[in-house]
Structure 1
């Protein structure tokens, strides 16, 4: 590339960037509106009360319990949903005859005090513990509890189902009515059984593990997927759910959460309540912010020492002011500056003295160019200038008018850059 082509390329790139900046400024209102709308949409999604958690009573997805909840309500059962042991205890004080369901997950466990209270409640009222997790069994008093896969095939996947029969030794009426259970995942083996076990993994070996066990703490059910919207109509799942959960008019549905930690008088750590990706994302954003600060605050070159006062050529000052007007999209202010400069030059050319009135300048210019006074005044009118194209056209008309005046006076036209 030749040296002559480099300035042209630089000018093209600069012109493209300037055009992009002007476009962004022109559309900044709509861009801000779009960003604001995205923020509002995200906020609505975050504060949405729609139940999307697995086994949620209002979750209408395939892994939700919405169908079960609606069926229980149609049968006259009033559901009381709680997320902490304290709320469950308070609800039991209001409805002491209610049955209790503890939907346990591996993420949160009920407190020991809550387990003790529910164990006492189970002496006279139904308490159903729903979880395939051995951690719950250990919390109930069986440290040797085991979670067993439903299939002996090591190549079997967690989505593979197995049909389990209630069994001859099953003494739970709800399981006898259901007769069979098609479950996925795992079952548990525990020594807590006091009233028998149902749906054994192997009918010939009842000790191999069961999906439903009756204990002093209540009924332990290890196949929560059986009550989901996808599986509730399979085999005897509906009969098992209605007879096991629909025994009382009130049903306290307790799902342990992070609120249990704060309920024991211990402050829950905020990090425990955040999703796993929140902390890495926060650290990454802090690193990006520090890098951005370093990039924006770096020195672009050595400090230039110049003697004071600094002399700035008039052309550079005028160009800098023009660029400021351009960046601010100040079309009307630019038109006023062009008009004032043109009137000043015309007054000097026509030798009208210091600070002549605008009307005097336009009348004298009209007389020397042969134009009408009205046409000359219209030439200097800036009320119609709204866009950059109008400003360029206005500047060209002023320049042509000055050149015409200079020619009529016998002077050479001005040089244009």
Structure 2
């Protein structure tokens, strides 16, 4: 018996080194560009958020939530509007002359700092009153909710409110003793005026009344000019996050840990990087490996057939024959690769004219009980394939 030599194996074409290097360089360039784009988008979003936070009630902002319009109106009436963004500058500006301090919420300042600023001003207008500032500067007062979006009359004796007329107050507040309340709505008042030794403190919801988008409604502009324009100087204080006199009493994580922890963490990171460089695997181009033995497909099929015969399992062997036949029939009939077996059987019966029950018996229903019936089923499967091939490609059918 003569041994048949296995056909020579084709070697995979080698990838030129320059092409692989170009691909790696292009990949790193693409990664760098992607990181730059992501960083730019993140920076733009961060800048937009910072601008939105600064624009709320800011006299330099022309956005809907800014207050540039009322600042310009005050300047047209001869009032000098000075915008300050730190506590020291606000104190210096208030010391130059009698002035009105326009004060939004200042959570970064202590109670003493807020009180000191208010005492340095002749008048104070709280345009974003919170519970703390109301308790400090308008004793006995507190937030009381939000009024319905409808205009109400002043219903008080405060001349500035009477001249301004009706308006929709937005937030409302409860009034303490000695306070003159105006614009009653929803169980509270839209304006509180509390007299002091040298002037007064007024509290009003500036977001609902004095912003650029609401200033032209009702008597909002008139009320703003009446409250803020009583003196020739307006100091508009816009506190920043860094402008604070509060000491951080909470210890940091570094203060809580022993001094040797940070050097150990750095050492572990360096050791991890060194281990990665030492043991890391660099992936290069694929290398074609020559196999020691090439097994032909016919030998694999014969080996499986002997295993099925030894196991006396004709049903399993029939399933394998039917799976192969169904795959080939689906290709011949132009069906999808995931077509169901009944669909393939019906298509084969319709194309060849063979009885549908007979085709389904060959491809699905018949169960061989021994080797003879398995051989007969194999023959019928081959005949069915030949019939379908003859119906689909008559010029290629065997004669």
| TM-score after normalising by structure 1 | 0.49
Q: CA deviation at 1:15?
A: 7.9
Counterpart-to-counterpart distance in 2, 1:141 and 1:248: 21
Deviations 1:61-87 (A, max 9, x none): 111111111222222221112233332
Q: Quote the Cα distance in structure 2 between the aligned partners of 1:189 and 1:224.
A: 18
8 Å CA contact 2:91–2:120 kept in 1: the answer is no
8 Å Cα contact 2:169/2:183 also seen in 1 = no
Which deviations, in whole Å up to 9, do the C-alpha atoms of 1:121-175 show, x marking residues without a partner? 46xx222112242232123364672432324xxxxxxxxx3323211xx122221
Matched, 1:173 2:159: yes
Structure 1: how far apart are the matches of 2:278 and 2:174?
Answer: 65
Structure 2 partner of 1:318? none
| 1:200 and 2:179 matched | no
Equivalent in the alignment of 1:187: 172
CA deviations over 1:167-202 (Å, ceiling 9, x no partner): 1xx122221112112244x311131543x1111115
| Deviation for aligned residue 1:223 | 4.1
Are the aligned partners of 1:245 and 1:251 in contact in 2 as well (CA < 8 Å)? Answer: yes
| Residues 27-65 of structure 1, C-alpha deviations (whole Å, 9 max, x = no match) | 79xx78x959x87x959x969x97842111111111111
Structure 2 residue matching 1:177: 3-state secondary structure: helix
Q: Residues 90 and 237 of structure 2 are in contact (CA less than 8 Å); yes or no, is this contact kept in structure 1?
A: yes
Question: Equivalent residues in 2 for 1:211-360 (5 A)?
Answer: 211-216=190-195, 218-262=201-245, 266=247, 293=273, 296-297=276-277, 299-300=279-280
Alignment partner, residue 102 of structure 1? 103
C-alpha contact (below 8 Å) 1:199/1:210 kept by paired residues? yes
Post-superposition Cα deviations, 1:83-124, rounded to whole Å, max 9, x if no partner, equal 333322221112x2111111125xx254333333345446xx
Change (3 A) 1:249 1:17: farther
Residues 12 and 103 of structure 1, relative CA distance in 2, 3 Å threshold: same
Any gaps of 5 or more consecutive residues in structure 1? 152-160, 203-207, 272-285, 302-417
Structure 2 residue runs without a partner (length 5+): 1-7, 253-265, 282-399
Q: Mark the structure with the bigger radius of gyration.
A: 2
Alignment partners' CA distance in 2, 1:136 and 1:219: 11
Name the CA shift for 1:75/1:19 in 2 (closer, same or farther; >3 Å).
same
Q: Distance in 2 between matches of 1:144 and 1:219?
A: 12
Q: 123, 129, 133: which is aligned to 2:130?
A: 133
| C-alpha distance in 2 between matches for 1:177 and 1:236 | 9
Q: CA 1:121 to 1:294, structure 2 compared with 1: closer, same or farther past 3 Å?
A: same
How far 1:229 sits from its partner (Å)? 0.9
- Residue 148 of structure 1 is matched in structure 2 by 145
Task: Please give the root-mean-square deviation of Cα atoms over the aligned residues, in Å.
Answer: 4.7
For 1:18, what is the secondary structure of its paired residue?
helix
Residues in 2 aligned to 1:267 and 1:6: alpha-carbon distance in whole angstroms: 74
Take 2:138 and 2:221, find their aligned partners in 1: how far apart are those partners? Answer: 30
Which of 10, 18, 22 is the equivalent residue of 2:21? 18
Helix, strand or coil at the partner of 2:152: strand
